[in-house]
Amino acid sequence: MKLPRYATKADELQTTFEFVSEGPRGRIPKLVQFSETNLKDFYNLAFGDKNPETGALDDLSVSNNGDSEKVLATVVDAVYAFCYRRPEAWVFAMGSTPARTRLYQMGLNRFYAQVVEDFDLYGLQGEEWHPFQPALSYDAFVVQLKHPLI
């Protein structure tokens, strides 16, 4: 996506990315984390505010900082970086609430043409994965890089 995004700082393995959202509610630290699951090459994507006291990811906080498109573009940028390092990886994403999952779907719908240029994209309906179709509703999403980025 060719949208403004925040600069990120990644750990050495590029499994945790940090950035700061800037808006009317101030500077809010954010985290994007990729964690292994019990399935080979299948990773969970977690995203949310960074708790300033514990450093932990809080995926239930609502910051409403007026920069949701820039934040989404930054999260997508982290997905690219993670997958570029692990082209075999499947990245699973589901909102911490049904409303957040709908928000993620709205973003995927809006930028569908760009996403499917680089990623295979599937949506979960019940217990079955289907190729993503913008007109349908999904419970979760998974992507895999189609080809190495040059």
Average pLDDT, the chain: 93
Question: What tens digit of pLDDT does each residue of 58-105 get?
Answer: 998 888 899 988 998 999 999 999 999 999 999 999 998 999 899 889
Residue 114 backbone phi and psi in degrees, to 5:
-70, -40
Q: Report the candidate in 124, 136, 118, 51 with the shortest Cα–Cα distance to residue 81.
A: 118
Instruction: Provide the H-helix boundaries in 31-132.
Output: 68-85, 98-110, 112-118
Q: What is the domain partition of the chain in residue ranges?
A: 9-145
pLDDT of res. 3? 84
pLDDT of res. 148? 60
pLDDT of res. 147? 75
pLDDT of res. 138? 97
pLDDT exceeds cutoff 80 at 150: no
Question: What tens digit of pLDDT does each residue of 5-31 get?
Answer: 999 999 999 999 999 999 999 999 999
Task: With cut-offs at 50, 70 and 90, classify the pLDDT of residue 118.
Answer: very high
| Mean pLDDT, residues 103-126 taken together | 92
CB 82 within 8 Å of CB 15: yes
Which residue would you say has higher pLDDT here, 53 or 149? 53
Residue 15 identity (one-letter amino acid): T
CB 120 within 8 Å of CB 144: yes
